């Protein structure tokens, strides 16, 4: 799985969890009660995961973009060198 996929999975889990916890908090008296630390841990894990994978995904995208930008530039340089060689002959 790529970093981008893991970022989106963590984000979706966070969004769904927020809706579920909100629903439970509005409907169940005494929620979260003893489950409070577990709920906090759940959110901390997925917030840290989404932050980590977003940074890793952005680094992957930056490397990919540099490769795309570098390829046309290298092609232009090669064409210029070829033109110089032909002009010399």
Q: In the predicted model, is pLDDT for residue 63 greater than 90?
A: no
Token pair, residue 17, equals: 């969890």
Does residue 32 have a cis bond before it (omega within 30 degrees)?
Answer: yes
C-alpha span between 42 and 44 (Å, rounded): 6
Decide if 69 contacts 15 (C-beta within 8 A): no
**pTM of the model as a whole:** 0.67
Crossing angle of helices 36-88 and 3-27, rounded to 10°:
160
Domain limits, the chain: 3-88
What is the structure's pLDDT at 20? Answer: 96
DSSP H helical segments within the chain, as ranges?
3-27, 36-88
Query: Tens digits of per-residue pLDDT, 8-39?
Result: 999 999 999 999 999 999 999 999 999 999 99
Residues in the chain: 89
Task: Please state the separation of Cα 51 from the chain's center in Å.
Answer: 8
Query: Tens digits of per-residue pLDDT, 37-60?
Result: 999 999 999 999 999 999 999 888
């Amino acid at each position: 799985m790529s970093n981008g996929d893991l970022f989106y999975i963590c984000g979706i889990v966070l969004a769904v969890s927020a809706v579920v916890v909100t629903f439970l908090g509005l409907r169940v008296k005494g929620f979260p009660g003893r489950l409070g630390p577990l709920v906090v841990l759940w959110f901390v894990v997925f917030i840290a995961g989404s932050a980590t994978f977003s940074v890793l995904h952005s680094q992957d995208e930056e490397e990919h973009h540099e490769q795309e930008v570098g390829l046309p530039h290298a092609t232009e340089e090669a064409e210029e060198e070829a033109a110089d060689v032909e002009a010399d002959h």
